[in-house]
Structure 1
């Protein structure tokens, strides 16, 4: 597991999420995300001083979330853009299978809603608020990123705090259809039927069709090999794994 040092903004490798306390970022990708290859690793030869910053320019998003994490007392941060070597198929598969646990083990999750203004500009509870319409609520992967962490702090496009998952639980329930007691961890995800959990993903979108299945693995509690290129077959495999590993028959009501 790679984590960013929030001071030096370089990657360090750890054996797992229990090694150190860390914060984690949840966001919607843009076309200008910082990659693993464009982020320096601890001990990278020749990556010193001005030359390092020219060789490894840091994106504004990474600078901002590291600054927020430092203010909140976190030395380490994980983000899916630059903490996974996506050119390594083994590492990518392991990361996707472990991602729910990584969000679950994070001390805090920052959810960046970059299409939502600050609370000084707009009340998130207003019936037509940007918070309710944010594309963050419609992405497939952000579903587990909302549910798994105990603490989620929502940030506006100006990196101002909108609120947290506990104080906004009733509003998020309205927007997403997820039981507020599941959101606040007063009710276990496992106590919800498979059909109920899959219904939370209804209407959500993913960049790749296979991710419609892969983003549900942690929430459902079943795991399978990652095979990009298999298309809709990924969802069929997910259903087969559910049937094999759980006695919950509610999946047959899904559709």
Structure 2
């Protein structure tokens, strides 16, 4: 597993789970000009900072520092997607990585409202957020022990627990599963499949891959 050091902005590799330190994890939707693992290997820190996707990495690192964590995991830059073996391992392990994170920061690039905004406005913007129709963000909502939502300018929107009724209404996921009060495996297969019904992915096969953790499945990827 690779983690990004929030102070040095260097990527470290942890070969054993026993060596992994407490880390924060980022949930987001991919957009234009993301910063990849390859970019971290080939570009200077100045060049990295000029990419559009770097702002949320900066936000995430600063928040992790404020919360007392030295490491973060971000899918754009902590997976070497040139390696099919590493990519396969990451897809099969991702649910567990989100589950074992100390906290998950959910970044909503298309939501400007925040905790201090009018609740009707906030609810309307959240309901239309792209985050809720992406396949991969389903497990990122359900797996972590703690989820904190942030607006496009990294202002806190609220926590998963504090917004549980609104999030349940938007996602049609019962609060007991949404907030980890009941194990996912106690939900029927059809119920778990229904959670992904309105979601989509860029690649057709990813719609299956993003459900592996929700169904506790591990398989080699072709």
Under a length normalisation based on structure 1, what TM-score does the superposition of the two structures give? Answer: 0.80
> Counterpart of 1:5?
5
Give the conservation status (yes or no) of the 8 Å contact 2:123–2:166.
no
User: Structure 2 unaligned runs (5+)?
Assistant: none
> Counterpart of 1:224?
219
> Counterpart of 2:94?
99
List aligned pairs for 1:1-255, cutoff 5 A: 1-18=1-18, 19-40=20-41, 52-54=44-46, 56-57=48-49, 59-119=54-114, 122-126=117-121, 129-227=124-222
Query: CA 1:181–1:123 in structure 2 vs 1: closer, same or farther (change >3 Å)?
Result: farther
Q: Which has the larger radius of gyration?
A: 1
Displacement after TM superposition at 1:126 (Å):
4.9
Under a length normalisation based on structure 2, what TM-score does the superposition of the two structures give? Answer: 0.92
Q: What is the DSSP-based 3-state SS (H/G/I as helix, E as strand, rest coil) of the residue aligned with 2:157?
A: strand
User: Structure 1 unaligned runs (5+)?
Assistant: 41-46, 228-255
Give the conservation status (yes or no) of the 8 Å contact 1:124–1:132.
no
Moved more, 54-63 or 11-20: 54-63
Q: Determine which structure has greater relative contact order: mean sequence separation of CA pairs < 8 Å that are 6+ residues apart, divided by chain length.
A: 2
1:88-134: per-residue Cα shift (whole Å, max 9, x none)? 00000000000000000000000001111132674355586101111
Give the conservation status (yes or no) of the 8 Å contact 2:114–2:150.
no
